[in-house]
Amino acid sequence: MSYKKLILVTGGTGMVGSAIQEISLEYSNYNFVFISSKDYDLTNMDSTNSMFLNHTPDYVIHLAACVGGLFKNMNQKVEMFEKNLLINYNVVRCCYLHKIKKMIACLSTCIFPDKITYPINEEMLHDGPPHNSNDAYAYAKRMLEVQCRLYRENHGCNFVCVIPTNIYGKNDNFSLEDGHVLPALINKCHLAKQERADFIVKGTGKPLRQFIYSTDLAKLIMNVLTSDKKIDNITLSVSEEDEVSIENVARNIAKCFDYEDHIVFDSTYSDGQYKKTVSNEKILEFCPDFEFTEIGDGIKSTVEWFMENFDKVRF
């Protein structure tokens, strides 16, 4: 009987981890273990080391992070910075100590510089400070990229950083306070319709974003993990042409709830960074035939999942 190599996924019960779990049956040559924050405290080195000793993985997909939307990033900066520094240091260090064959570490396009030319590519990550609305999270994630790069340079470790754009999909956190913009708007629209109130969107709706459906991201991460090609940093994103405004997203969500006539944009709230357009040239060279889920279809699927699974949705 042939040995199946083990892939350990931190943050394994979150949105992206759940998406990987959903497609894992397509990868019959591997076994998977999905780790949640209830299993191990990754801010603690002893706990993190125990995870590696208990599961002895061959590969690691590192998704675990302290995350949140715009207003959590603005209001809880110390927590966002320190927790992410600890989590990333411990996981990467243990990947080295336990001789992991390949690790995929998940960054985010929100960590790119604020003042920069577009489209942004992987080489521009450290070319200026991030937007001050999410600088704490951004700098912690930038240090994850630095740590992985140094291990590649000094020890030849196969540590790859993937940089996804705004992720959305099933099993997301739909909290109004801490959720990212798209899931928070889904919950907000649902509540507004229940209460027969206006569907209020914070900000003008003008900022532009590239969104990637969680199942698409899971497939791309697995493509990167199982490839023999040498990669360092790679952005996982839809094309520039598929960038959409927050207004577009809100109207798509309202359409799913049949509540299009009740949208109000409250411009007294901050818009955050206006745009963060990234190039997906590198991933298209890597996966030239990959088909991304169209934003309207992805939102429809996410809203359907939200309503069908309301009793277990994370808020």
Could you tell me which residues come within 8 angstroms of residue 231 by beta carbon, excluding any fewer than 6 positions away?
Answer: 160, 224, 286
Q: Is the pLDDT of residue 1 over 60?
A: no
Please give the pLDDT value at position 99: 97
- CATH annotation of 5-312: 3.40.50.720
Please give the pLDDT value at position 70: 61
Q: What digits encode the pLDDT tens for the residues 142-163?
A: 999 999 999 999 999 999 999 9
pLDDT over 70 percentage in the chain: 97
Q: Is the pLDDT of residue 134 over 90?
A: no
Domain ranges within the chain, ordered by starting residue: 5-312
Q: Is 259 marked active-site?
A: no
Please tell me the pTM assigned to this model: 0.92
Q: Can you read off the two tokens belonging to residue 72? A: 């959590």
Please give the pLDDT value at position 276: 84
Question: For the residues 279-291, what does the mean pLDDT come to?
Answer: 93
Please give the pLDDT value at position 73: 63
Task: Tell me phi and psi for residue 122, to 5 degrees.
Answer: -60, -25
Per annotation, catalytic residue among 40, 59, 89, 137: 137
Mean pLDDT rounded to a whole number for the chain: 93
Q: What digits encode the pLDDT tens for the residues 77-108?
A: 898 899 999 999 999 999 999 999 999 999 98
Question: For the residues 232-250, what does the mean pLDDT come to?
Answer: 95
Q: Is the pLDDT of residue 221 over 80?
A: yes
pLDDT class for 74, splitting at 50, 70, 90? Answer: low
Q: Which is nearest to 237 in space by CA: 108, 83, 114, 75?
A: 108
Question: For the residues 303-309, what does the mean pLDDT come to?
Answer: 96
Please give the pLDDT value at position 103: 98
Q: Is the pLDDT of residue 71 over 60?
A: no
